[in-house]
């Protein structure tokens, strides 16, 4: 699956058939080998459900950058990756400056506005023009199944809450899209996957659906050609 349709980048996500990606070096190796991407330096975000963005520069070996949930670079030797299993994989691409970023956002990342932190890196560090930034939100747990309790619901605006059959739900991607529009990203440059990780049991891992004893995830990636 290709998420940002541009000939100058690689972008996508693994599926259940590719195996769990969180702790399997072998599965990752085979997946990227099959994509023809094993020549890239593979950089992964450590993921702490925060909003820190790491600039990827001057790294010569594949590695995990700890204490961050988003990565950004303008070098084509790197492949940026995160793992997800219901949270949002958010892909960014400045088509003029040739800068890419990849963010992981669960509900904590959404309320801490990780997308704003990424956009600030684009504009302050790479001098991007907001009109040139494309954003794609990949498969995530959609509001058909992302039920929340009051402790989480109270952290969101009441207008973000979907009330259905005396239960509360949120659409994390819609909230992120609203945040991006507030940041002046153009509406037509923001696209969202229709896939729900919970619904598509044969295609994706879902932490909420499966409740596994050991976390099973997909791996999302983006790289410059």
Classify residue 168: in a domain, yes or no: no
Domain coverage including residue 217: 9-141+189-224
Q: CATH number of the domain at 106, please.
A: 3.60.140.10
Let me know: does 189 contact 135? Beta carbons within 8 Å. Answer: yes
Tally the C-alpha atoms within 13 A of residue 152's C-alpha that lie toward its C-beta: 18
Q: What is the pTM assigned to this prediction? A: 0.96
pLDDT tens over the chain, length 225 residues: 557 778 899 999 999 999 999 989 999 999 999 999 999 999 999 999 999 999 999 999 999 999 999 999 999 999 999 999 999 999 999 999 999 999 999 999 999 999 999 999 999 999 999 999 999 999 999 999 999 999 999 999 999 999 999 999 999 999 999 999 999 999 999 999 999 999 999 999 999 999 988 899 999 999 999
Classify residue 169: in a domain, yes or no: no
Looking at the structure of the chain, the number of domains it has is 1
Write phi, then psi, for 137 (nearest 5 degrees). Answer: -105, 120
Q: Which of 128, 133, 169, 154 is nearest to 6 (CA)?
A: 133
Let me know: does 112 contact 50? Beta carbons within 8 Å. Answer: yes
């Amino acid at each position: 699956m290709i998420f940002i349709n541009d000939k100058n980048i690689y972008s996508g996500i693994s599926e259940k058939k590719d195996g769990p990606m969180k702790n399997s070096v072998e599965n990752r190796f085979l997946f990227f080998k099959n994509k023809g991407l094993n020549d890239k330096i593979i950089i992964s975000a450590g993921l702490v459900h925060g909003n820190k963005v790491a600039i990827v520069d001057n790294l010569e070996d594949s590695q995990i950058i700890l204490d961050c949930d988003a990565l950004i670079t303008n070098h084509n030797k790197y492949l940026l990756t995160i793992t997800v299993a219901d949270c949002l994989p958010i892909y960014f691409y400045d088509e003029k400056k040739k800068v890419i970023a990849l963010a992981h956002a669960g509900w904590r990342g959404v309320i801490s506005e990780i997308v704003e932190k990424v956009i600030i890196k684009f504009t302050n560090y790479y001098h991007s023009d907001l009109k040139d930034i494309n954003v794609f939100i990949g498969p995530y747990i959609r509001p058909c199944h992302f039920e929340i309790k009051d402790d989480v619901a109270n952290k969101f605006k009441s207008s973000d809450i979907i009330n259905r059959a005396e239960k509360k739900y949120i659409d994390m991607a819609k909230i992120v899209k609203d945040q991006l529009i507030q940041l002046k990203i153009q509406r037509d440059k923001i696209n969202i996957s229709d896939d729900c990780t919970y619904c598509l049991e044969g295609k994706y891992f879902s932490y909420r659906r499966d409740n596994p004893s050991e976390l099973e995830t997909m791996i999302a990636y983006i790289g410059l050609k």
